[in-house]
Amino acid sequence: MTVLRQLIFALGLVSSGLAFADEPPTAPNPPVDPQVPGVSPTVPEPAQAPAATGSPKHHKKHDHEAGSETTTVTPPGEANDETKGEPEDEAKAEAKAQAKAERKAKGQNGQKKKKKKKKLEFGGRLFVRGAVMKAAPATDWTGQGSVTSARAKADFRSHGMHAELQVEFAGKARLKNAYIQLPLVDGPARIDVRAGQFKMPFSAIERESLWSLPTADRGLLHDVLAKRLQVAGRSVGAMIIVELPGDVPTKLEAGVFQGFDDAGTPLASSSSDRFGQDLVLRASVKPVHGFEIGAAGEARVGQLLEVPVVIRRGYAAEVDATIEATVGPGLLRFWLEGMIGTSWLVGGMSTGHELTRFLETRGVVAYRIGGENKHRYGELYAQAGALDPDRIISGDRLVEIAGGLTYGLNDVWRVQAEAEVWRVADAAPLGIAQFAVAPGNTTTILVQLGARL
């Protein structure tokens, strides 16, 4: 009988297990019937099948499962199609969102910045001119066609560094710009250092690109200031540039540049003559948009081609202003400067007259209609200037007047018609405009085509 009872009891356990497996799923956390004695409130393990044994422990568990209205919780490996993979997908989404937030936070804190791209650009310009000219004392007009400028440029920028190489091929090929500019401090207040061959920070008109100026060329006074008095133009040197932000942006420039003799040969001098170097300082401010005012001073050295060889010293100072403003239907552009300094290019025949003072003033004005966003434009312009090369000698002034009309496509091409008048007084120093060439009065009418490459 004992064996029979155990067999019947085992069959009952098997049938109960089969019935339990066929029950439909319900809520995962069932309430436990408190009336059933000895039943634990713990939810049974769903993955385990009821054991075919008669131990009291398994019997109590079986009684609880059979007496309650609950079912087993579906194991993770046997999830149905509707819920399978949802916890894993949610975890991945949270991980991606957290990683994105961390990357964004690093970018805001400056710990991780986008890499600046390197940029190499090539460009250039071309000016072709046809002109008729009458030079005193001749009474006839002469004509000539020429390529006044054929320039190529390479410009490279990377991580705040700027390098430029510029060569002029019209006439004899010669180097114009060749410099490297490095950012020492790159922030709201910027400090750069530049070294190589470039324009000295003196005279706003001389520093402006010829393409930006409305005139066909820089004129007579450019030849005097840059080539003869050597107060402006290009030279080999090094310069520090400080840009300060604020309501009135300020720019400070200080540089040391190679000095030249009267023929344009670099000087090789001792320490008593500052090693043949020119010192130039400039400060400029922009109080309002489109208006800039600046002032500059320099101490320079030079040498006349005479015996005995003597290194001369000179000083110069200038103030300038540039304006660009919308007036009526067009754009008004204006450059103005005044300059004073000492010079070793003296007039007269006095043997003791070796150093003198000079005065210069010059202005350029233009009024443009059209030209925005690569559109065509028309521009009227005029230039006037005067220079007294020797304040001690009278009757030695140089005067230039020019005016014309430009028609073109903004920043692409232009056609200019211009008239120029240069007047040089009889007592002007020999070679004041060109080395070893006597000055003279000229009148020129020209047509010039220009293109930016």
pLDDT digits (tens, 9 = 90+) for 233-268: 999 999 999 999 999 999 999 999 999 988 888 998
State yes or no: pLDDT of 167 exceeds 70: yes
Domain final residue, candidates 49, 78, 107: 78
- Residue 392 domain-assigned (yes or no): yes
- Burial (0-12, 13-18, 19+ Cβ within 10 Å), 170: middle
Q: Please report whether residue 401 resides in a domain.
A: yes
- The answer as to whether 90 is a domain residue is no
Given a cut of 80, whether residue 370 has pLDDT beyond it is yes
Residue with tokens 């540049």: 257
pLDDT at position 51 = 44
pLDDT band for 98, please (50, 70, 90 cuts).
Answer: confident
pTM: 0.72
> Do 67 and 132 sit in the same domain of this protein?
no
Which residue range is the domain that position 39 belongs to?
Answer: 2-78
pLDDT at 88: 58
48 and 135 share one domain = no
Question: What's the mean pLDDT in 182-198?
Answer: 95
pLDDT band at 298 (very low <50, low <70, confident <90, very high): very high
Strand partners of residue 297: 281, 317
Same domain for 145 and 22? no
245: in domain = yes
240 shares a domain with 368: yes
* 61 in any annotated domain: yes
pLDDT value at position 12? Answer: 57
Mean pLDDT taken over the chain:
82
Residue 374's pLDDT band, with cuts at 50, 70 and 90, is: confident
What is the pLDDT averaged over residues 386-404? Answer: 94
pLDDT of residue 327: 95
Q: Are residues 296 and 422 in the same domain?
A: yes
Q: Are residues 32 and 141 in the same domain?
A: no
Look up residue 201 and give its DSSP letter: S
Mean pLDDT, range 56-83, rounded to an integer: 44
Nearest to 280 by CA among 348, 246, 230: 230
pLDDT value, residue 349: 60
Question: Amino acid identity, residue 177?
Answer: N
Predicted local distance difference test score (pLDDT) of residue 297: 98
217 lies in the same domain as 328:
yes
Q: Are residues 259 and 322 in the same domain?
A: yes
Structural domain includes residue 21: yes
Q: Does one domain contain both 73 and 135?
A: no
End residue of a domain, out of 78, 111, 140: 78
What kind and span of H or E run contains 416?
A: strand 413-424
Residue-level pLDDT at 100? 76
Between strands 330-343 and 190-199, the pairing is unpaired
Are 67 and 36 within 8 A, CB to CB? yes
Query: Rounded to an integer, what distance in angstroms lies between the CA atom of residue 393 and that of residue 281?
Result: 30
The last residue of a domain, from among 78, 93, 113: 78
How far apart, in Å, are the Cα atoms of 400 and each of 72, 362, 380, 394, 420? 105, 9, 18, 18, 7
Residue 320 has pLDDT above 80, yes or no: yes
Judge if 69 and 189 occupy the same domain: no
Decide: 167 and 152 in contact? Cβ < 8 Å.
Answer: yes
Are residues 57 and 141 located together in one domain of the fold?
no
Q: State yes or no: pLDDT of 29 exceeds 90.
A: no
- Residue 65 confidence (pLDDT): 42
Domain for residue 224, yes or no? Answer: yes
Identify which has the larger pLDDT, 263 or 41: 263
In CATH, what number is assigned to the domain containing residue 196?
2.40.160.10
Lowest model confidence (mean pLDDT) among 104-113, 215-224, 288-297: 104-113
Q: Higher-confidence residue: 7 or 304?
A: 304
Domain total for the chain?
A: 2
Phi/psi for 72 (5° steps) reads: -75, 155
For residues 221 and 227, what is the distance between their CA atoms, to the nearest angstrom? 10
Judge contact between 267 and 260, C-beta under 8 A. yes
215 and 67 both lie in a single domain:
no
Please check whether residue 169 lies inside any domain of the structure.
Answer: no
